[in-house]
Structure 1
Amino acid sequence: MPATLTDVAKRAGVSLATASRAFSDPGRLAAETRQKVLSAAEALGYATQTAANGVRTVAVVVPDISNAVFAALIKAIQERAWPGRHRMLLADTGGSEDREREHLASLAGSVDGVILCSPRLPAADITKAAGGMPLVVINGEADAARVLMDAGEGLRQAVEHLYALGHRKFAYVPGPASSWANGQRAATVKRLCEEWGVDLVTVGHQNATVDGGLAAAAAVVASGATAVIAYNDLVAVGLLAGARTLGYHCPEDVSVVGIDDLDIAAAAEPGLTSVRVAIERSGSLGLDLLLEQIAGRSRATEAVHLGSQLIVRGSTFAARGATALRSGKNGDPT
């Protein structure tokens, strides 16, 4: 059986993401690391898909093409596909399970493979609709190769950061109920708040948009939380605007943290503290794994988790009364 990228990564002693980067974005790796990967590839007889397997047509299915996260994913996939002149077909489901199912069923047999981003369908339905065609899922559950943008480490840093600033009551603003990422992020925030002894309020599910954040602002303000973690940066920016219309200001009255670290996070006023996830890496690695399946190589059997980190900007600041909290007053631990 031909060597896979996973085989190369194991032989070189690096992660699958690092092995992929050696071919797709070598300038981001240390010369020594890249050489390890290339040497392992040569020893195993691994050939990159862009050179070895001809032009392919792949479909990319997303729930919302207007969302900057999916725009960045699409761009990363296109950039990775360009050297091999692979063609890309794009489908937008509008977040609808029915449309997602119909797209998958109609694509079977008409494209070489599919990258399904943030699916809304249950795993069993994805498998049935895909009909055995090569498939990679980004941020979702499925019986398929998966690439996951894991926000866990960045969220741990965020909770620790907010706690150090004296915040003891948090709010979490969730995204769509059918989103895998939302389920993971909500569960992680809940677990971390329990570990740190922080009071957590979760408001109702929102669209993953600026309007979703605007809609949640009143509930967040009414909760009495002094710090908020939002499902994504768009929701966080909406919260900033919504809080202002209600007479609250960030970060003086409430600290806000987003997730994704989109360009809008740096441009927001104040700059948005955000958990940076590996959006571009997910796209390029997803295509690498799909091309391996199309070429008849063994499918990845374990999900690839790509890490995250907190990027601190002006939207987080010391909580009201934080000096008293740190000095051990009001019965709170130092």
Structure 2
Amino acid sequence: MAVTIADVAAEAGVSKATVSRTFGMPDRVNAVTRTHVLAVAEQLGYVPDPAPRSTRTGSVGLIVPDIVNPFFPPMIKAVQRRARSRNYGIYLADSDAHAGEEAEAVAEMSKQVDGLIFWSSRLPSETLVDIAGRVPTVLVNRSAGGLPTVVASSEDGMRQAVEHLYALGHTRCAYVNAPRGVWSNQHRRAAVRRTCKALGMELVELGPFAQSVEGGVQAADIVAAHGVTAAIANNDLTAIGLMLQLANRGLSVPDDISVVGVDDTFVASLMRPQLTTVRIPVDEIGSLAVDLLLNLLQSGDKADTGPVEVDTQLIVRESTGPVTAEIHWPSRPLPSQD
């Protein structure tokens, strides 16, 4: 049974009118109360009913988890370009990888768009299915209840990454996990596990860590302490933080530890050494997501046709190299993390 406004009001200890204003007119609710209501709504999985739309708006909504991540701007441009080619505009929202912010964005956007594209949604599957029952919806790098979905296939790219490290002589590898609940991380990790097992490589799974440079910095000492000769990070930002902190500790990439990222953002080729990474074809994925949504709007057919999968590919650069006999720890004492 779907969570109602009355459920949220009762749990939060406020009136139904306060809950309604929190989502519909947030500037008219005290900041402390608004934050409390949003937290309760997220905990319960509540998403407010969108305003009814009697006419076509000519716009689609795009919700991303982190607009600061260099992975997303090229994708946003691809979605906008494809939508414009089909005479649609886009509304953009950043959820800050937070389900409550995502739910609030849905409430605001639904009044202004004909359909929604969720990229790496943090909302529960049942909530996404409920939204799709009221607003045409397409998911990217996420699956839920047979909804139209575009996914970057983890299998090929992650397999290529592990096989690349194996060919360089690595037998002990770390995988640096993203936070729990990140759908793409679950699939990337599974592909790494399968390939390591098939090749007889030892896999050390670490984390979770934030999908950010700071997350990679936090992971670096733990990666080094496990004595691995290679590490695969869940995305490029994590890999970059890992490389920077390993260098601060006096370790060389790739001479002491090889590092692989995922995404192939523009920053990967700016690093020194340049980052070896699994390329996610954001242009193709963004265009496919728009086409799926607009075709859904035109046909109204919500039948489960299965996910549309897009291949990923390893891009070999300078951050991976042949394994050495052992990690060359610096002769000077390691500095503290402070």
Q: Normalised by the size of structure 2, how large is the TM-score?
A: 0.76
The answer on 1:310 being equivalent to 2:309 is no
Residues 155, 191 of structure 2: 8 Å contact kept = yes
Which whole-Å CA distance do the structure 1 matches of 2:226 and 2:187 have between them?
A: 23
Partner of 2:295: 292
Residues 131, 137 of structure 2: 8 Å contact kept = no
The answer on 1:234 being equivalent to 2:237 is yes
Could you report, residue by residue, the CA deviation over 1:213-254 in whole angstroms, capped at 9, with x for unpaired residues? 111101101010100101011111111101011111100000
Which whole-Å CA distance do the structure 1 matches of 2:104 and 2:269 have between them?
A: 38
Q: 2:225 aligns with which of 207, 222, 226?
A: 222
Instruction: Look up the SS of the partner of 2:232 in the other structure.
Output: strand
Partner of 1:257: 260
Q: 2:286 aligns with which of 255, 274, 283?
A: 283
Could you report, residue by residue, the CA deviation over 1:253-278 in whole angstroms, capped at 9, with x for unpaired residues? 00001111111111111111111122
Partner of 1:138: 140
Could you report, residue by residue, the CA deviation over 1:30-52 in whole angstroms, capped at 9, with x for unpaired residues? xxxxxxxxxxxxxxxxxxxxxxx
Unaligned runs of 5+ in 2: 1-55, 327-338
Residues 101, 125 of structure 1: 8 Å contact kept = no
Partner of 1:153: 156
Partner of 1:103: 105
User: By how many angstroms is 1:84 displaced?
Assistant: 3.2
Partner of 2:58: 56
Tell me: higher relative CO, structure 1 or 2? Use CA pairs within 8 A at least 6 residues apart: 1
Which whole-Å CA distance do the structure 2 matches of 1:105 and 1:126 have between them?
A: 13
Residues 122, 141 of structure 1: 8 Å contact kept = no
Instruction: Look up the SS of the partner of 2:277 in the other structure.
Output: strand
Which whole-Å CA distance do the structure 2 matches of 1:110 and 1:239 have between them?
A: 41
Unaligned runs of 5+ in 1: 1-53, 323-334
Which whole-Å CA distance do the structure 1 matches of 2:277 and 2:173 have between them?
A: 15
Which whole-Å CA distance do the structure 2 matches of 1:66 and 1:134 have between them?
A: 27
Deviant stretches of 4+, over 4 Å: none
Which whole-Å CA distance do the structure 1 matches of 2:286 and 2:85 have between them?
A: 15
Counterpart residue type for residue 272 of structure 1: L
Partner of 2:165: 162
Residues 117, 138 of structure 1: 8 Å contact kept = yes
Which whole-Å CA distance do the structure 1 matches of 2:132 and 2:105 have between them?
A: 9
Q: 2:80 aligns with which of 78, 81, 98?
A: 78
Q: Normalised by the size of structure 1, how large is the TM-score?
A: 0.77
Which whole-Å CA distance do the structure 1 matches of 2:71 and 2:120 have between them?
A: 11
Partner of 2:325: 321
The answer on 1:184 being equivalent to 2:187 is yes
User: By how many angstroms is 1:131 displaced?
Assistant: 4.0
Moved more, 233-242 or 55-64: 55-64
Instruction: Look up the SS of the partner of 1:68 in the other structure.
Output: coil
Alignment of 1:81-92 (within 5 A): 81-92=83-94
State the superposition RMSD in angstroms. 1.6
Moved more, 158-167 or 78-87: 78-87
Instruction: Look up the SS of the partner of 2:256 in the other structure.
Output: coil
Partner of 1:195: 198
Higher helix content, 1 or 2:
1
Counterpart residue type for residue 245 of structure 2: G
Residues 150, 310 of structure 2: 8 Å contact kept = yes
* Percent identity for Structure 1 against Structure 2: 41
